[in-house]
């Protein structure tokens, strides 16, 4: 197994990092070439992907190190414009790694398609008919998408839901449960629900209105957890036990207070979205599902749970709907996405779902640890100082020295960095 613990990676310049990851076996020649040239999605292709395309828009592509999930090392591709996120995820993953790594799992991978049925004369009778003919409906759905069936997927079940509209009308909604294998499967599901809708109308005596997938994928969940001994959380003057108590207290606020819950969850999604974007997944769908899942008790709450066990360890959990795909959609059209998949080296979408949730948990741990100790500004300032030193023309070997001195002087400006680089007058 190639190790994701790569000390000093952040101190190298970009080409040095590519070389190091290549030498360690993480990147192939083609991956290095693609990243070195900043080879982006080409505009001819972009023109075929969306309407009225004018060009392409690039974002930084980085890697978080130190991740060990279910006893396997991963280098995590992250696409994000915000400084500190990659560093914080890597820092948290290093602590969790020392504690044995993340444990991650998933609960199935069934997606949901909905058929809304209006003007149903007898709701109970309609439900009975639909249930009775469930296998026939599944057959119709599968006939509409033989390619998915050939790949080993297909419709697996039918559910009937009664939904009370705000105006008091009760509607019947048919749910088609679909195994989309390693694809997110939006097109497959939409094709299938359109195919079963006429039969659902006949069985219910009603009229089909919406026929569309649901992004609330509560039959496709992934979870990650970690258990960290307090001494691994010691940070400068902060004793590990203090840090455990601080993180548990921060978690309790996020459980109980909407203002904090949203910020807490935004931090989780910093990590989740960065991996989803890097891997070409539909992050809006997963954002929507994640926030809805955080509200499943009837109140919006924190996505993660942090508690202290009897031995004083910090125990963290995160479970989210995670309908990611490894194939299909626009995955594969973007050279960056291809490198992200090569770095992860996954064979199943379920594994990607577990990786994404582990990154979300790490991201939350990194933010909370900083917040309950020295605060997040110190780390931000240090990163900002590095960028400023680089902007002032510092050679790689000088960047850290100059950045440290800028932070010490409290003068993080290009002029200050130039002065330091010029040496004493
Ligand atoms: C910043 O992008 C994310 C944080 O605000 C998350 C948090 O407060 O937990 C640091």
Task: Please compute the mean of the pLDDT values over residues 144-159 and round it to a whole number.
Answer: 96
Kindly state whether residues 150 and 165 are assigned to the same domain: yes
> Alpha-carbon Rg of the chain, whole angstroms?
25
pLDDT of 140 > 90? The answer is yes
Angle at 102 between CA 14 and CA 296, to 5 degrees: 110
Nearest to 278 by CA among 181, 183, 352: 352
State in Å: Cα 1 to ligand 1 middle. Answer: 33
Average pLDDT over residues 212-216: 97
Q: Helices 186-204 and 134-144, interaxial angle, to 10°?
A: 140
**Helical axes 414-422 vs 377-391, angle rounded to 10°:** 60
Check pocket membership of 376 for ligand 1, CB cut-off 6 A.
Answer: yes
Pocket test for ligand 1, best of 92, 271, 376 (most atoms within 8 A of CB): 376
Does residue 309 sit within a domain? yes
Per-residue pLDDT, 394: 92
Nearest CA, atom 3, ligand 1:
267
Ligand 1 centroid, distance to 118 Cα (angstroms)? 44
**What's the pLDDT at 102?**
98
- Identify whether 403 is part of a domain: yes
The reported pLDDT for the residue numbered 425 is: 61
* Position in ligand 1 atom list of the atom nearest CA 376: 10
Give the tens place of pLDDT for each residue, 241-300: 999 999 999 999 999 999 999 999 999 999 999 999 999 999 999 999 999 999 999 999
Q: Does residue 32 sit within a domain?
A: yes
Specify whether 210 is located in the same domain as 226. Answer: no
Is residue 370 located within the same domain as residue 234?
A: yes
Task: From 371, 373, 378, 379, give the residue whose CB has the most ligand 1 atoms within 8 Å, as the site to mutate.
Answer: 371
Q: How many CA atoms lie within 13 A of 420 on its CB side?
A: 27
Cα(126) to ligand 1 centroid in Å equals 49
Q: How far apart are CA 402 and CA 384, in angstroms?
A: 12
Res 334: pLDDT: 87
**Of 350, 215, 337, whose CA–CA distance to 276 is shortest?**
337
Q: Is the CB of 266 under 6 A from ligand 1?
A: yes
Instruction: Decide if 273 contacts 188 (C-beta within 8 A).
Output: no
Task: Give 194's pLDDT tier (boundaries 50, 70, 90).
Answer: very high
Residue 370 CA: nearest ligand 1 atom is 10
pLDDT of residue 384: 82
DSSP track, 335-388: HHHHHHHHHHT-S-HHHHHHHHHHHHHHHHHHHHHHHHTT-SHHHHHHHHHHHH
The torsion region of residue 104 among left (phi > 0), alpha (psi -120 to 50) and beta comes to beta
Is 250 near ligand 1, meaning CB less than 6 Å away? no
Q: Using CA positions, which residue lies closest to atom 10 of ligand 1?
A: 367
* 155 shares its domain with 269: no
Residues 100 and 244 reside in one and the same domain: yes
Q: Does the residue 2 lie in any domain?
A: no
pLDDT at 423 over 90: no
If one residue of 78, 253, 270 were mutated to test the ligand 1 pocket, choosing by the most ligand atoms within 8 A of its CB, it would be 270
- Which domain covers residue 205, as residue numbers? 110-214
pLDDT in tens, 378-395: 777 877 888 899 889 999
Per-residue pLDDT at 380: 76
Separation of CA 73 and ligand 1 centre (Å):
26
Average pLDDT over residues 72-81: 97
**What does the alpha-carbon distance between residue 297 and residue 311 come to, in Å, rounded to a whole number?**
30
One domain, residues 227 and 241: yes
CA 48 to chain centroid, in Å, comes to 26
Least confident of 266-280, 302-316, 346-360, 401-415: 401-415
The confidence score (pLDDT) of residue 383 equals 77
pLDDT value of position 22:
96
**Cβ of 261 less than 6 Å from ligand 1:** no
Residues 282 and 390 in one domain: no
* Average pLDDT over every residue of 44-55: 89
- Shared domain for 239 and 387, answered yes or no, is no
Mean pLDDT is lowest, of 42-51, 205-214, 269-278, for 42-51
Q: What is the mean pLDDT of residues 391-407?
A: 89
* The pLDDT of residue 39 is above 80: no
| 363 lies in the same domain as 235 | yes
Strand partners, 118: 207
Q: Is 264 in the pocket of ligand 1 (CB under 6 A)?
A: yes
Let me know if residue 408 belongs to a domain. yes
Q: How far is CA 83 from CA 21, 62, 208, 217, 368, in A?
A: 21, 11, 48, 31, 16
| For residue 108, pLDDT beyond 90 | no
Catalytic residues: 82, 266, 282, 380
Ligand 1 contact via 369 beta carbon (within 6 Å): no
Q: Give the range among 74-78, 328-332, 350-354, 410-414 with minimum mean pLDDT.
A: 328-332
Output 378 or 27, whichever has higher pLDDT.
27
Same domain for 363 and 383? no
Ligand 1 pocket mutation, candidates 263, 304, 380, criterion most atoms within 8 A of CB: 263
pTM of the model: 0.91
Identify which has the larger pLDDT, 129 or 381: 129
Cβ 413 under 6 angstroms from ligand 1? no
Per-residue pLDDT at 328? 80
- When divided into structural domains, the chain yields a total of 3
Q: What is the CATH number of the domain that holds 202?
A: 3.30.70.420
Residue 18 lies in a domain: yes
For ligand 1, is residue 88 a contact (CB within 6 Å)?
no
Mean pLDDT of 304-317: 98
Per mean pLDDT, which range of 63-77, 85-99, 380-394, 406-420 is the poorest? 380-394
How far, in Å, is the centroid of ligand 1 from the Cα of 360? Answer: 12
Q: How far is the CA of 386 from the centre of ligand 1 (A)?
A: 21
Q: Is residue 251 located within the same domain as residue 308?
A: yes
Cβ of residue 262 lying under 6 Å from some atom of ligand 1 = no
Mean pLDDT of 365-371: 97
**% of the chain with per-residue pLDDT over 70:** 100
Distance CA(273)–CA(281), nearest Å, equals: 9
């Amino acid at each position: 197994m190639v190790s994701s613990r790569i000390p000093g990676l952040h101190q190298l310049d970009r080409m040095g990092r590519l070389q190091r990851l290549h030498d360690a076996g993480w990147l192939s020649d083609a991956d290095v070439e693609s990243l070195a040239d900043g080879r982006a999605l080409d505009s001819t292709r972009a023109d075929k992907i969306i309407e009225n395309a004018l060009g392409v828009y690039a974002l930084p592509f980085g890697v978080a190190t130190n991740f060990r999930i279910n006893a396997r090392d991963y280098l995590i591709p992250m696409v994000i414009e915000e400084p500190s996120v990659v560093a914080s995820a890597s820092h948290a993953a290093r602590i969790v790694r020392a504690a044995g790594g993340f444990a991650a799992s998933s609960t199935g991978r069934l997606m949901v398609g909905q058929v809304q049925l209006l003007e149903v004369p007898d709701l109970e009778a309609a439900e009975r008919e639909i249930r009775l003919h469930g296998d026939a409906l599944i057959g119709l759905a599968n006939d509409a998408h033989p390619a998915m069936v050939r790949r080993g997927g297909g419709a697996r079940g039918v559910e009937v839901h009664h939904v009370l509209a705000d105006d008091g009308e009760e509607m019947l909604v048919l749910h088609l449960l679909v195994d989309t294998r390693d694809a997110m499967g939006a097109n497959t599901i939409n094709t299938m629900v359109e195919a079963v809708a006429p039969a659902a109308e006949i069985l219910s005596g009603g009229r089909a209105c919406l026929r569309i997938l649901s992004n609330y994928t509560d039959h496709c969940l992934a979870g990650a957890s970690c258990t960290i001994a307090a001494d691994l959380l010691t940070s400068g003057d902060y004793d590990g036990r203090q840090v455990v108590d601080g993180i548990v207290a921060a978690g309790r606020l996020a459980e109980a207070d909407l203002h904090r819950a949203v910020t807490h969850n935004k931090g989780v999604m910093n990590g989740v979205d960065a991996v989803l974007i890097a891997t070409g997944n539909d992050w809006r769908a997963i954002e929507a599902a994640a926030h809805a899942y955080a509200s499943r008790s009837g109140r919006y709450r924190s996505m993660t749970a942090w508690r202290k066990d009897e031995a004083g360890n910090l125990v963290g959990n995160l479970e989210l709907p995670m309908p990611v795909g490894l194939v299909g959609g626009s995955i594969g059209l973007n050279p960056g996405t291809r490198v992200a998949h090569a770095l992860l080296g996954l064979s199943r979408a379920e594994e990607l779902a577990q990786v994404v949730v582990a990154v979300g948990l790490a991201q939350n741990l990194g933010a909370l640890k900083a917040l309950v100790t020295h605060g997040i500004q110190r780390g931000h300032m240090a990163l900002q100082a590095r960028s400023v030193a680089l902007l002032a023309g510092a050679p790689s070997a000088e960047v850290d020295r100059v950045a440290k001195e800028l932070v010490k002087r409290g003068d993080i400006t290009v002029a200050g960095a130039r002065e330091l680089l010029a040496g004493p007058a």
